[in-house]
Amino acid sequence: MEQPSGAQVKVTFTTTETDIELPETKRQLLVPAEIRRYGLSRILNSESMLDTGAIPFDFLVNGSFLRTSLDDYLKTNGLSLETNVTLQYVRSLIPPVYEASF
Amino acid sequence: ATHLTESDRSMRDYSEALDMWTTFQTKTHGLSLSLSSQLRLILTPSQSTKLSGSFRTGKRLNIKKIIPYIASSYKRDKIWMRRSIPSKRSYQILLCVDDSSSMGDNSSSGLLALESFVMVARALTMLEVGQVGVLGFGSDVFVAHDLTGPLFASHDTGARVLQQFTFRQDGTDMCRLVRKTIDHFRDARLLTQQGAGQQDLWQLALILSDGLVQSKDHARLRPLLREAMEQRVMVVFIVMDDAGDQKGKGGSVLELKEARFGADGMPVIHRYLDSFPFPYYLIVHHLDDLPGALAGLLRTWFAEVNG
Ligand SMILES: [Mg+2]
């Protein structure tokens, strides 16, 4: 298993689906830089966020779906951990697949 | 984190920096005056608050001297305490401004930090209590204005500092900043003491930042902050939190949470500031809040160290 670096990225969650909107005070969050779609989905579903159980979410970053870890996304785009990443979440249209790591 | 030298750090255009300094100085003049007059009372006490000593006349009886006084058949009559005259204090103050890109990218924390810097630098210049230096920090630390440099009396002096802040550093290494601050103050103290200085020297660092530090550094900062305290260096963290007021409540560092995954893979969410390691910090939403908040914090601190 990959050793977590402990690095964090600040993200801002947005959505266009009004029934799953977060209250303003919960939209900004520091998350582990290694996080992927599945981990972000679990955070959103958690009791202290949307408390929605297990809805699979997909995340749009700059217009395209996040398919790598956040730090890979940053590296690929020449961005640093100083970047505040805006993540637009939508209910996933892809059938859920088992993923071992977050 | 790369090492930045003077030459590859990006610089703001001089005339732009000069315009900024002039605008900020005019805009914050009233606040500078207010801060300066509040700090004068705190930093330059004309009267000691402590009663001490043994005198024939004075302000209050020293209870411990009463029994010997009677036992000596009223001969040992130095039974009164007076307010002692305080020694003249001098200060070395470092203003540490966050130059990392989190201050600039779709955030106006950088602007608030620069305005705050101008306001505080002007207030300290009016006070004339000692030396004022400026450090910039991000992934690295640079000296933007030396402690031995002139005070901020001319627009040119100020503009040359503002030129050096462009908020493009790709990290916020707070541990490195605190380390460099301690070292810088140690050198500065040695230099001062080689000179005339039998004065009472106080060293104070004010950090102007959005407060966003990698949480894993919080634990590493604690021993450094203890070392600063042992070196009699006071560190005040001023969190630039303009989002707290203007753009709805969502953007404020006060509300910011962090998510981690527990050993069971479950996400756990904490308030970011709960592990924030700086014992003296204040959160500023508006520039107008700063003079009162900073003076209040310093008053509390001086009361603690003098108590
Ligand atoms: Mg930063």
Are residues B238 and B282 in contact, defined by beta-carbon separation less than 8 angstroms? yes
Mean pLDDT of B47-71: 79
Q: Predicted confidence band at B82 (pLDDT cuts at 50, 70, 90)?
A: confident
Which residue does chain A place closest to B99, by CA atoms? A82
Between chains, do A30 and B267 touch, taking CB under 8 Å as contact?
Answer: no
CB B216 to CB A30 under 8 A?
no
Distance B24 CA to ligand 1 centre (A): 23
Instruction: Give me the mean pLDDT over the B240-252 stretch.
Output: 67
Residue B248 binned pLDDT confidence (cut-offs 50, 70, 90):
low
* Averaged pLDDT, B221-232: 96
What integer is the mean pLDDT of B73-86? 80
Instruction: Report the residue from A24, A32, A81 with minimal CB separation from B250.
Output: A24
Contact criterion met (CB below 8 Å) for B236 and B205: yes
Place of tokens 């004309």: B46
Kindly report, residue by residue over A17-38, the tens digit of the pLDDT. 999 999 999 999 999 999 999 9
Question: Is pLDDT above 90 for B123?
Answer: yes
The answer to whether the beta carbons of residues B127 and B43 sit under 8 Å apart is: yes
Give me ligand 1 centre to Cα B216, in Å. 14
Q: Is the CB of residue A66 less than 8 Å from the CB of residue A30?
A: no
Q: SS3 of B257, please?
A: strand
**Do residue B255 and residue A28 have CB atoms under 8 angstroms apart?**
yes
Confidence of residue A1 (pLDDT cuts 50, 70, 90): very low
pLDDT confidence tier of residue B124, bands split at 50, 70 and 90: very high
**How high is the ipTM of this complex?**
0.87
Q: Residue B17: pLDDT band by 50, 70, 90 thresholds?
A: very high
Which residues of chain A are within 8 Å of residue B102 when distances are taken between CB atoms?
Answer: 10, 82-84
Residue B2: predicted pLDDT: 46
Contacts of A39 in chain B (CB under 8 A): 261, 267
* Cα B255 to Cα B249: distance, rounded to the nearest angstrom: 8
The predicted structure's pLDDT at residue B67: 86
Region A76-80 average pLDDT: 95
What pLDDT digit, counting tens, does each position of B271-293 carry?
999 999 999 999 999 999 999 99
Q: What is the pLDDT of residue B107?
A: 79
Band (pLDDT 50/70/90 cuts) for residue A94 is low
A10 contact residues in B (CB cutoff 8 A):
102, 212, 256
B101–A30 C-beta distance less than 8 A: no
Distance CA B249, CA B236 (A): 25
Of A25, A26, A82, the CB nearest to B170: A82
Position with higher pLDDT, A72 vs B3: A72
For all residues of chain B together, what is the average pLDDT? 89
Chain A residue nearest residue B172, CA to CA: A82
Least confident of B101-115, B195-209, B234-248: B234-248
Strands B267-271 and B257-261: antiparallel
Report CA-CA distances (Å) from B197 to B88, B91, B136, B227.
10, 11, 28, 24
b/e per residue, B151-188, with b = 16+ CB within 10 A?
bbeeeebbbbbbbbbbbbbbbbbbebbbbbbbebbeeb
Residue B76 has pLDDT above 90, yes or no: no
From B53-57, B72-76, B226-230, B255-259, the region with the lowest mean pLDDT:
B53-57
pLDDT at B250: 64
Return the DSSP state at B276.
-
Cross-chain residue pair A46–B249, CB shorter than 8 Å: no
Mean pLDDT of chain A: 90
What per-residue confidence (pLDDT) applies to B305? 78
Whether B307 shows a pLDDT value over 70: the answer reads no
pLDDT in tens, B184-201: 999 999 988 765 555 688
Give mean pLDDT, residues B82-107.
86
Question: What does the pLDDT read at residue B55?
Answer: 82
The residue-averaged pLDDT of B132-153 equals: 97
From the CA of B216, how many Å to the nearest CA of chain A? 6
Q: Pick the more confident residue, A20 or B5.
A: A20
